[in-house]
Amino acid sequence: MQQEILSQKETTASSPVISIILLVGLTVALFSVVFFLTFDLSSNTSTSLSSPVIEKDSTDTGFELIVTDNPDNSELDIYKNNSHYVTVSEVGEIVQIDNIGRYTVIENNEDGSENLINSYEFTDSEITEITISEPNPSEPDDLKSVHEEIEKEDGFYLITNDHELQAINYKPNANYRIANDIDARETKYWYNEQGFEPISEFNGELDGNNKTIFGLKIDRIEEDNVGLISDVINDNDIYDLSIYDITVVGNNTVGSLVANSGTFNANLNVDNIIVKNVDAYGNYDRIGGVIGETNANININNSIVIGDVEGNKEVGGLVGYNVGDITQSMSNTNVTGGYIIGGLTGYNNGYIDNSYVVSKIIFGEETGGGLVGENVDSINNSYTSSNVVGFQSTAGSVSGTHEGFFGDYITNTYVDSEITSNQLPTVDDDGSNIDITELDTEDMISEESITNMNLDFDYVWDDTEYYPILQDLDKELQLQILQSYFEHWGFENE
């Protein structure tokens, strides 16, 4: 991954116009009234949403999406929930939708950027429009005045757009709820093209409400503690939030969600977070795809990260420098750096349990591993399939080094030896206990995984035609990730 400074990027050209016809009622289609949702995106404007009127019937089982205009013949990805459903581009293409879920249409631009076209919910033959905020082309003039206009419900301020998201900085010691999807693509122009200003000293609750922040850009290459939230103090809960297509650039301690939760008195619970298409870069140390640095009072649970992470030292797909607990989480990131580089965490002095990494490349100079770069605590019930390359010394299949003391183990952990061929971690303490099993790919898929991997397939893991997945994470997204990963390495499933 190359470092990309947002200010150097060219403005995206005008996006195509796409009209989507939603037809409900397969058996009465000839007698239905057809309604149109028309979307017109340009480089400095967002989707303009009109509410569809749908004629419903008690026997309806689905609807159709039809591309009626696409001047540039761009690829249009349709996602069901968080998983890719189908790609269309030709005018007249029809996609039949007959499964309950949330569907989002995203345009892929030639420069690699994406435009959010529309999002809606299909439930029991009813389509409910999902509100998406319009992005603001410049930062708010006065955070106080913006914050004073935010509505409040049940003790939570309701965040409805990018300006209100930024206004959390005015009152960071409060509780907030994301009320709808937020299009934040224009933040790249804010504050002299430095992008969104990280929320400082957050001390409250952030309820993502199963909504998505899309396209957030933060370009603060000379600043430390760079992320949506720069640092947290006292007690905090962040949960049920998705962040898509985020670019975050900083100096030291960088993370897309939280940069620094390592403050001694901070308590932070992070649960059900999905960070997708993250591009995280830091000049120096403690760079993570989700969190840069954690302390012993941090719990990360049920979280997924996908994308690219790059730094110098203590660089990890999920967390750069970890002293907290990570459970039931996964990383599908390309991680590159100099020293102490890992697919899940760079440095680990915390507890890792029931988690996994699939990574096309983990590259560095010294001390790197498929799960952890340097480990001084416990890793249990986990696995990795990661291409660990480039390290001149102390590279390991699971951890580059393990300096555990009595009671600090790597146990019941598995490695796909056909991908991760590096040696087992260097043991620097005679009291350490390492239980790592190397398996062939075929031994980690389908029913073979139940036989060969002593994981909890009753309550925590599911076997699949690929590797095992976690029951409490988005199953469709995990399967999509694994399918793409298997295709990358040319694996074929029978």
Write the DSSP assignment of 316-381 as a string of letters.
Answer: ESSEEEE-SEEES-EEEEEEE-SEEEESSEEEE-SEEES-EEEEEEEE-SEEEESSEEEESSEEEE
Q: Which of 97, 129, 161 is the last residue of a domain?
A: 129
The verdict on residue 120 lying in a domain is yes
Considering only CA atoms, give the Rg of the chain: 23
- Answering whether pTM is above 0.95, one says no
Give residue-wise pLDDT tens across range 425-435: 655 554 457 88
The verdict on residue 136 lying in a domain is no
Judgement on whether residues 179 and 119 belong to the same structural domain of the protein: no
The verdict on residue 390 lying in a domain is yes
Judgement on whether residues 213 and 329 belong to the same structural domain of the protein: yes
Answer for the pair 405, 431: CB distance below 8 angstroms, yes or no.
Answer: yes
The verdict on residue 45 lying in a domain is yes
Give residue-wise pLDDT tens across range 307-350: 999 999 999 999 999 999 999 999 999 999 999 999 999 999 99
Q: CATH code at 71?
A: 2.60.40
Question: Quick one: pLDDT at residue 479?
Answer: 93
Judgement on whether residues 169 and 107 belong to the same structural domain of the protein: no
Question: Quick one: pLDDT at residue 493?
Answer: 61
Question: Quick one: pLDDT at residue 9?
Answer: 35
Strand order, beta sheet including 258-261: 229-231, 258-261, 291-294, 319-322, 345-348, 372-375, 399-402, 426-427
Q: Write out the E strands in 222-329.
A: 229-231, 235-244, 247-250, 254-255, 258-261, 267-282, 285-288, 291-294, 298-301, 304-310, 313-316, 319-322, 325-327
Judgement on whether residues 150 and 122 belong to the same structural domain of the protein: no
The verdict on residue 259 lying in a domain is yes
Q: Which of 129, 161, 192 is the last residue of a domain?
A: 129
Answer for the pair 176, 157: CB distance below 8 angstroms, yes or no.
Answer: yes
The verdict on residue 412 lying in a domain is yes
Judgement on whether residues 374 and 462 belong to the same structural domain of the protein: yes
The verdict on residue 1 lying in a domain is no
Question: Quick one: pLDDT at residue 409?
Answer: 85
Distances in Å between the alpha carbon of 138 and those of 10, 197, 210, 223, 476?
17, 12, 26, 21, 36
Residues of the chain with pLDDT under 70: 1-62, 113, 124-125, 127, 129, 264, 404-407, 421-432, 493-494
Judgement on whether residues 13 and 98 belong to the same structural domain of the protein: yes
Judgement on whether residues 211 and 307 belong to the same structural domain of the protein: yes
- What is the separation, in whole angstroms, between the first and last Cα of the chain? 34
Judgement on whether residues 368 and 475 belong to the same structural domain of the protein: yes
Question: Quick one: pLDDT at residue 124?
Answer: 65
User: Residue 487 — φ and ψ, nearest 5°?
Assistant: -65, -35
In 3D, which of 251, 226, 248, 379 has the Cα closest to residue 313?
Answer: 251
Judgement on whether residues 122 and 150 belong to the same structural domain of the protein: no
Judgement on whether residues 14 and 85 belong to the same structural domain of the protein: yes
Distance CA 213, CA 147 (A): 19
Question: Quick one: pLDDT at residue 10?
Answer: 37
Judgement on whether residues 235 and 376 belong to the same structural domain of the protein: yes
In 3D, which of 173, 470, 486, 448 has the Cα closest to residue 358?
Answer: 486
Judgement on whether residues 210 and 171 belong to the same structural domain of the protein: yes
Domain that holds residue 361: 143-489
- The number of folded domains in the chain is 2
Q: Which of 96, 129, 162 is the last residue of a domain?
A: 129
The verdict on residue 216 lying in a domain is yes
Distances in Å between the alpha carbon of 430 and those of 347, 374, 396, 404, 433?
20, 17, 18, 9, 8
Answer for the pair 395, 419: CB distance below 8 angstroms, yes or no.
Answer: no
